[in-house]
Amino acid sequence: MKKQLYTNTCLAKKSAISTSRKNLVVTTFATVLGCLFSVGQNAHAGSLEQAKRLHDRIAGVPASEATLVTMANMIDNNQVIDAAYLAMESPAFYSTTLKLFATPWTNIDQDNFAPLNDYTATVIGAVRDDVDFRQILQADMVYVGKASLNLPAYNTNNNDHYEALDERFVDLADGLERTTQSSVNGLPAAATAGVMTSRAAAKSFFYLGTNRAMLRFTLMNHMCTDLEPIKDNTRAADRIRQDISRSPGGDSRLFINNCLACHAGMDPLAQAFAYYDYQFDRDADPLGENGAIHYNQSGQIDAATGSRVTAKYHINATTFPYGYVTENDNWQNYWREGPNQRLGWSPNLTGQGSGMKSLGEELANSQAFAQCQVKKVFRTVCLRDAESEADLSQIHVTTESFKQSDYQLKQVFAEVSGYCMGE
C-alpha cells in the first residue's frame, strides 16, 4: 500500500507538469526518479539508519554506501553481529576508536589524546588478533610497528617508535605486529606482565612514589573500581608498610577508618612490584621522559634495602618502624575474604604468588575484570553508562558471552553496539 501511494503521488506530479517546456520536463523527470528511489529506500529506512549508527559508533567515521547497504541487509536478516564485525573491518576502528578507548589507561591524567605508546598499541593489536584479553595483564607480548615501515627502533628510553607511527598516520589495523616484550625491553620473560610492564605504564605508575600507583590504576582501568569503593577495615594490618602512620595527626581513628581500609588490602598486592622501578636522570630529565623500566633480577642487590627489593619500598621507614618490611615480591590477596569477595576472584587460583605476572593472572581472571571490559565498551559505543535494568541485563549477558568466547573483545563490541544501534 505504501509503495502504491508513493507511485501515485509521483505520477500525479508528472502529469501536472507541461511537457512543452524542457526545464520542467527535466524537473519532472528528476522528481519521478527521486520518488521511485524513495520507494525502494523506504523498505530499508530503519535498517539503513541502524547500519549507519552501528558503523559510526564502532568506526567513528562514515561508511561507504556499499558497506551500509550490506550491513542493512545483514540487519534485516538478523545478522547484527556480522554487521558489527563488518564495521570493525574499517581501519578507523583501530586507529581511532580503539586508540581513544585505550589511551586513557596509559597515563595518570587519563588523557585520551596522549601520544601512541607501547601500552595502547598492545591493546589495539590484541583486539585485532582476537587475543584472549586476559593476556594483556600477564603475557610476554608487545605490539610494535612492522619492520617494513622503517620506523625508529623500539627503545626502552623513549617513545620515538610509536610517535613515528602516529606522525606517519600508519594504519594500525595493518601496521602492527606482535613480538615478545622480553626481546625488546630486557626483562626476563617471567618478569613480564603484559601492559603492566610496558614502558608507558612504568613511566606513569612506577615514576617515583612507592609503586602503589600501579595497583591503583590497574584496578581503575581494568576492574572499573578505585580504592575508595573497596575500602575494607576488617582486613589484618600485618602487611602495611612502615611509611604509613598508625596515628596520623595523633588520631588512631583516622588510621583505622581510612588508612587501614585501603592499605590492608593494597599493600600485600603491591608487593608484587617490589623488584621494579622506573629509572631516569632526575636532574637532567625531571619528568622522566627518557627513562626506562628497571627490574632487579636474581642476584641484583639494592644498596638501600640489602635485597632485590627497590629502595622505594623502604621509603620513610621511620614513620612507623614496626610496620611491614618488604623483603621479596611475594603478594597475597586479602580481598578474597570480606566484602570484596564480590569482585569475583577465580576459585581456580590460590590468591597468592610471586611477582607481577601471577598478580596479573589473579586480576584478569576475576569477574570484575570481565565485566569492566564490557562496561567500558558500553560507554564507548552507546555514548553513555549503563543505567536501566535492560542496560544492566545486557552488561551481564555480554560479560558471560565475553568469557565464553575466549575473552575476545571484538565480540563485546559487536554485541553491545548491536544493543545500542536502535537508540
Give me the DSSP letters along 266-331: HHHHHGGGTTEEEE--TTT-TT-TT-EEEE--TT--BTTTTBSS-GGGGTTTTSSTTSBPP-S-EE
Kindly list the domain boundaries of the chain, sorted by start residue. Answer: 1-43, 52-89+367-423, 90-205, 210-365
Q: How many CB atoms lie within 10 A of CB 361?
A: 18
Instruction: Write out the three cell numbers for 292.
Output: 626506562
- CA dist 185 and 263 (Å) reads 31
pLDDT at 33: 32
pLDDT tens digit string along 169-181?
A: 999 999 999 999 9
- CA 292 to centroid of chain Cα atoms: 23
Determine which of 1-15, 117-131, 255-269 has the lowest per-residue pLDDT on average: 1-15
- Confidence check: pLDDT of 39 > 80: no
- CA dist 38 and 403 (Å) reads 44
pLDDT at 45: 54
pLDDT at 417: 96
pLDDT at 337: 98
Mean pLDDT over residues 366-381, rounded? 98
- Confidence check: pLDDT of 22 > 80: no
- CA dist 159 and 152 (Å) reads 9
Residue 351 near residue 333, CB atoms below 8 Å: yes
- Confidence check: pLDDT of 10 > 80: no
- Confidence check: pLDDT of 380 > 60: yes
- Confidence check: pLDDT of 141 > 60: yes
pLDDT band of 26, cuts 50, 70, 90: very low
pLDDT tens digit string along 268-314?
A: 999 999 999 999 999 999 999 999 999 999 999 999 999 999 999 99
Top-confidence residue, 327 or 422:
327
- CA dist 416 and 395 (Å) reads 8
Determine which of 22-36, 142-156, 254-268, 323-337 has the lowest per-residue pLDDT on average: 22-36
* Mean predicted lDDT score pLDDT of the chain: 91
Tell me the pairing of strands 330-332 and 352-354. Answer: antiparallel
Side-chain half-sphere of 27: how many Cα atoms within 13 Å?
11
- CA dist 305 and 318 (Å) reads 14
Residues linked to residue 142 through DSSP beta bridges, in sequence order: 179
Q: Which residue has the cell 553496539?
A: 417
pLDDT at 422: 84
pLDDT tens digit string along 306-361?
A: 999 999 999 999 999 999 999 999 999 999 999 999 999 999 999 999 999 999 99
Exposure string of 301-337, with b = 16+ CB inside 10 Å and e = fewer, is: ebeebebbbbebbbeeeeebeebbebeebbbbbbbbe
DSSP string, 173-198: TTSEEEE-THHHH---GGG--GGGGS
- CA dist 266 and 276 (Å) reads 17
Longest CA–CA span in the chain (Å) reads 104
Instruction: Write out the three cell numbers for 238.
Output: 600485618
